[in-house]
Amino acid sequence: MFGSTWSNTVPHSQTIYAAPKRLWIGLAAALAACFGVSIIGGLLTSTSVGTWYQAIERPSWNPPGWLFGPVWLTLYAMMAVAVWDVWRSPRSSSRALTLFGIQLGLNLAWSAVFFGLRSPGLALIEITLLIFFIAATTREFWRIRKRAALLMIPYLLWTSFASALNATIWWLNR
């Protein structure tokens, strides 16, 4: 029923509703990868957020703790949909998927460095590299699927804000 020509016979706008099983498995894999990183990052963060992080100097514009969960939940969901959209595109590239994987790994590494190692200075270097890879991923996604790149922009903006927060925390506690 869903042969190799199936996607060519159904208008693209309808493929999400009548997608073959493979596409849904791809979405599940993207969600699992992103939320897997979220869960591991949360575990790394939990080792310090109630102790060390509360004891260090933070700027007055530091967001309240309750905000981080909903923001990251939304961003990880958007990232998963973005990479899934690129993966399912006929124009998908291994470069785009590799860049996404690198930035996702760097995302996890930041939690390990900032909260696990309790090193805002090293985390600042790491988050700068992360921002570079998020921007490169977004640029590559733009070439393949513009809507996927648009889904990455809030993540790039939030991470840029987080880098300013990271830099300020480092400065206040050096």
Q: Which of 19-33, 66-80, 101-115, 155-169 has the lowest mean pLDDT?
A: 19-33
Nearest residue to 138 via CA among 162, 120, 154: 154
Sorted by sequence, the CB contacts under 8 Å of residue 24 that are 6+ apart come out as none
Contact 129, 106 (CB under 8 A): yes
- What residue ranges define each of the domains in the chain, with the CATH number in brackets? 22-172 (1.20.1260.100)
CB-CB neighbours of 31 under 10 Å: 17
Nearest residue to 111 via CA among 96, 126, 99, 93: 126
Nearest residue to 39 via CA among 69, 82, 84, 78: 69
- Residue 8 pLDDT more than 90? no
Please state the pTM of the whole predicted model: 0.87
- Residue 5 pLDDT more than 70? no
Q: Which two tokens stand for residue 31?
A: 């969600």
Could you read off the pLDDT of 82-114 as tens digits, one per residue? 999 999 999 999 999 999 999 999 999 999 999
